[in-house]
Structure 1
Amino acid sequence: MAGEKSKNSGEFGEKIISNFLQLIGWSSLEEGITIDCVHEQHNRKSESHGIDGYYGYKSELLKQHTQEDILISVKHTTNEYPSSPTSLFKGFLKDISEGMECFPYDSKYVDRKIPQNIQERKTFGVIFWISQASDDTRDIIADVSNFNNTDKIDYGPVYLVDNNKLNFMLRSIRYAQKTYDDYQFEYHFTGFNHTNPAESRECGKILPVQLINTNILPIRAQQDGKDYLAVFLNENFSEDSLKRSLGFTKMLAKAWPAQTFVLYPDYNHLYGKNTVQRVKKNFQDEDFTSKVVVGSYNENIASLGRN
């Protein structure tokens, strides 16, 4: 009975993540793959690593002609997150990191190279740790971010997505879908990309893995033939937050958006409008600030009172 419940929970979790990945453009996902284990020190009972999902795409944030190979692990539970999650998380992390270590030596590695003049490949891991019993805004990342690597394992780049991050991404994307005719994820300048305008893209339908657990999501939206910048924040509205957010937004906006929206989960125009005006005065570029509108991506009664 317990085994059947665990199986159902796992399948339900994989369905949740599969639908979410469709929202962020990670289509044509390979599910339930195995990777040949080539390292004896992994001490595995089987000769392979089981991976819940694989997705590969051409990077728009790293160097041009780089392919990013994403190995996905789904951990879904009907229980609440543990009060001391570090030990359990380290097990998840070790498991996917060993799969990442063996991935370049897998027999199907070459077959997964995409036909887009790829010159370099980088492997990343994503762990989706989702709890049905915990609040949708529960942040488990803060509880595990400072663990001691006593085993001295080179974990590589692995991103953890918990209830909090998944809920933020879902609400932001749903808002964009409902509000605008179309939208794309903004590919901000990193110092590695945008070196060749003929080959690089400033936005697209595929969310870069580097933004999979972000607290600030920039989206380029289209409405009635005009381009807009919408910046979603996974933090409560405050004066300090808005100052930081407008600095980042100004770097992105330049001259192209007809209007820029900075969107919080809790902004209330009645209580926040004077704070917005004070913060705008810190920026000398009035052409930029005059186009900035602060609002909320969570619809409620107060949201009806905004401009």
Structure 2
Amino acid sequence: MGELSKKIGEHGERVVLKFVEKLGWTSPSDGESLICNKSLKHQRTKDTPRTTHGIDLFYSYKSQLEDFTVNNLLISVKYTSNPYPTPPNSKFKQHLKDIAETVECFARSDLRNETNKEYESFGIRRSSDTGVLFWLSSDRESEQDIVSKVSSVILDKELEFSNIQIIDNARASFIYNSISSVERIFSESDIKFHYAFSSSNYTDQNISKFGSVLPVEYLTSPILPMRIIDQNNDKQKFCISSIESYNESAMKRLLNFASDISQDFSNEFVFLFTKYDEEQNGASVKKCIRTLGEKSSNIKVFVHSSVNDFRGLINE
């Protein structure tokens, strides 16, 4: 049983490694170990103080959404061949506690200090430490959206962390399908992630408007904004992939959003929904475009369905 568990764990880490590379998180370090600074608080067995925390994958990058900030990502992989447990609360709290304690000790670690120093030449003034928990199952028949099932779980008050992102099967599939579908449909174009501008990232002159690294903040967003750049003439299309199935309300909302923020670089919009059928929904799309009034004559709209499966990454 122990050997089987080890193989399943290694399989999961390979899947997640390929997944994060698709996000532009290239060459993350693996097998990092931290000294535990709260050995009694973090002990797993009574009277056995904890000495270390393991990090499955570690990745850092200069934030494009916050001025002068480096993002340090501590990635934990929990992968099982079994269905998600019913109910999932107990196992979820166990996984969350493990990564939260790792993030807590990372704040005082040599790894954090060394990583932050590497970015000093970029004018970095602060760092943001985020735990990323991949809780995935290879069982295709089990409940896939497990995060919604644990959203009301009461967490241990002693846990200390600023931000943890939870990625379950449903979320991993949405992100993977979004990127893979755009790459397939626009195979002769470069695909970049669009970086939103706000009051948090307008003074850093080295911040880009788009790039190959997915911001960690986008992991749990209901939409994924991308730019599709023609390799021959650099012409851009603005793409938004939605976690929703196609409906008129969502289409109108995304049309207005796209037309408002893309005026300076594109009038061609691509929308992806988890379910979309041209025969059934095509007339509805045209109706939504007409609601833009005069703007509708100056834009081009393409709508597609996103389909695929992140589990296939193990075979790539």
Q: TM over 0.5: same fold?
A: yes
Query: Bigger CA drift: 84-93 or 103-112?
Result: 103-112
Maintained 8 Å contact 2:56/2:77: yes
State the distance in 1 between where 2:131 and 2:201 align: 21
- For the residue of structure 2 that corresponds to 1:167, the secondary structure is helix
Residue 136 to residue 264, structure 1, CA distance change in 2 (3 Å):
farther
Aligned length: 296
What are the Cα deviations for residues 117-163 of structure 1, in whole angstroms up to 9, with x where unaligned?
Answer: 21101100100011011359811111111212353533421011111
Alignment partner, residue 313 of structure 2:
none
Matched, 1:85 2:91: no
Alignment partner, residue 294 of structure 1:
303
State the distance in 2 between where 1:147 and 1:19 align: 30
Of 140, 150, 155, the residue aligned with 1:149 is 155
State the distance in 2 between where 1:36 and 1:46 align: 9
**Shift in Å, 1:27:** 1.2
* Residue ranges of structure 1 left out of the alignment (5+ in a row): 300-307
**Shift in Å, 1:262:** 0.9
Alignment partner, residue 214 of structure 1:
221
Q: Which has the higher contact order (CA 8 A, sep 6+)?
A: 2
Residue 152 to residue 267, structure 1, CA distance change in 2 (3 Å):
same
* Residue ranges of structure 2 left out of the alignment (5+ in a row): 309-316
Residue 172 to residue 288, structure 1, CA distance change in 2 (3 Å):
farther
What are the Cα deviations for residues 150-193 of structure 1, in whole angstroms up to 9, with x where unaligned?
Answer: 53533421011111111111122112222242111111123211
Alignment partner, residue 305 of structure 1:
none
Residue 47 to residue 252, structure 1, CA distance change in 2 (3 Å):
same
Q: What is the percentage of aligned positions where both structures have the same residue? A: 30
State the distance in 2 between where 1:56 and 1:155 align: 18
Of 168, 180, 183, the residue aligned with 1:177 is 183
Matched, 1:272 2:281: yes
Residue 87 to residue 288, structure 1, CA distance change in 2 (3 Å):
farther
Of 110, 113, 128, the residue aligned with 2:113 is 110
Residue 277 to residue 70, structure 1, CA distance change in 2 (3 Å):
same
Residue 289 to residue 171, structure 1, CA distance change in 2 (3 Å):
farther
Of 199, 205, 218, the residue aligned with 2:212 is 205
State the distance in 1 between where 2:69 and 2:103 align: 17
State the distance in 2 between where 1:120 and 1:50 align: 24
Matched, 1:238 2:247: yes
Matched, 1:47 2:54: no
- For the residue of structure 2 that corresponds to 1:108, the secondary structure is helix
- For the residue of structure 1 that corresponds to 2:135, the secondary structure is strand
Alignment partner, residue 188 of structure 1:
196
Q: CA RMSD in A?
A: 2.0
Query: Bigger CA drift: 149-158 or 70-79?
Result: 149-158
- For the residue of structure 2 that corresponds to 1:41, the secondary structure is coil
1:46-65 matches, cutoff 5 A: 46-62=50-66, 64-65=67-68
